[in-house]
Structure 1
Amino acid sequence: MLTVDFDRLGVGAGTKVIDVGCGAGRHTFEAFRRGADVVGFDQNAADLNDVDAILQAMAEQGEAPSSAKGEAVKGDALDLPYPDATFDCVIASEILEHVPEDERAIAELVRVLKPGGALAITVPRWLPERICWALSDEYHANEGGHIRIYRADELRDKVLAHGLSLTHTHHAHALHAPYWWLKCAVGTDKDGHPAVTAYHKLLVWDMMSRPWLTRTAESALNPLIGKSVALYFRKPAAADA
Structure 2
Amino acid sequence: MLTVDFDRLGLRAGERVLDMGCGAGRHAFEMFRRGADVVAFDQDGDELAGVLELFGAMRVAGEVPAGAEADIKQGDALAMPFPDAEFDRVVAAEVLEHIPDDTAAIAELVRVLRPGGTIAVTVPRWLPEKVCWALSDAYHEVEGGHVRIYTGDELVGKLEAAGLELLGRHHAHALHAPYWWLKCAVGVDNDQHPLVKGYHRLLVWDIMKRPRLTRVAERVLNPLVGKSLVVYLRKPDAS
TM > 0.5 fold call: yes
Q: How far 1:153 moved relative to its partner? A: 0.5
What RMSD over aligned residues (CA atoms) do the two structures have, in Å?
Answer: 0.6
- Partner residue in 1 for 2:102: 102
What residue in structure 1 maps to residue 131 of structure 2? 131
Provide, for residues 63-101 of structure 1, a one-character-per-residue CA deviation record: whole Å limited to 9, x for no partner: 001200001111111001011100000110000000000
CA distance in 2, matches of 1:72, 1:83: 16
Q: What letter matches 1:125 in structure 2?
A: R
- Whether the aligned pair in 1 keeps the contact of 2:24 and 2:47 (CA below 8 Å) is yes
Q: Is residue 19–residue 28 contact of structure 2 (8 Å, CA) maintained in 1?
A: yes
Cross-structure match for 1:196: 196
Q: Is the 8 A contact 2:110 2:163 kept in 1?
A: no
| 1:11-56 per-position Cα deviation (integer Å, ceiling 9, x unaligned) | 1211110000000000000000000000000000110000000000
Counterpart CA distance in 1 for 2:201 and 2:38 is 32
Q: TM-score, normalised by structure 1?
A: 0.98
Deviations 1:93-135 (A, max 9, x none): 0000000000000000000000000011000000000000000
Instruction: Answer yes or no: is the 8 Å Cα contact 2:13–2:68 preserved in 1.
Output: yes
Cα offset, 1:164, TM superposition: 1.3
Pairs aligned (count):
239
Residues 90 and 113, structure 2, Cα contact 8 Å, conserved in 1 = yes
Which letter does structure 2 place at the counterpart of 1:26? R
Structure 1 unpaired stretches of 5+: none
Where structure 2 has 5 or more consecutive residues not aligned to the other structure, the ranges are none
Q: For 2:46 and 2:62, how far apart are their aligned partners in 1?
A: 25
Q: Which amino acid aligns with 1:40?
A: A
Whole-angstrom CA distance in 2 between matches of 1:184 and 1:129: 11
Tell me if the contact between 1:59 and 1:66 (Cα under 8 Å) persists in the aligned partners: no
Aligned to 1:186: 186
Q: Is the 8 A contact 1:126 1:150 kept in 2?
A: yes
Letter in 1 for 2:25: G
Deviations 1:155-206 (A, max 9, x none): 1011101221100100000000000000000000100111100000000000
Tell me the TM-score normalized by structure 2: 0.99
Residues 120, 231 of structure 1: 8 Å contact kept:
yes
Deviation, 1:237, is 1.1
- 2:27 is matched with 27
- C-alpha distance in 1, partners of 2:162/2:146? 24
Q: Which residue of structure 2 lines up, in the alignment, with residue 81 of structure 1? A: 81
Q: How far did 1:9 drift?
A: 1.3
Percent identity over paired residues: 64
Q: Tell me the distance in 2 between the aligned counterparts of 1:184 and 1:163.
A: 37
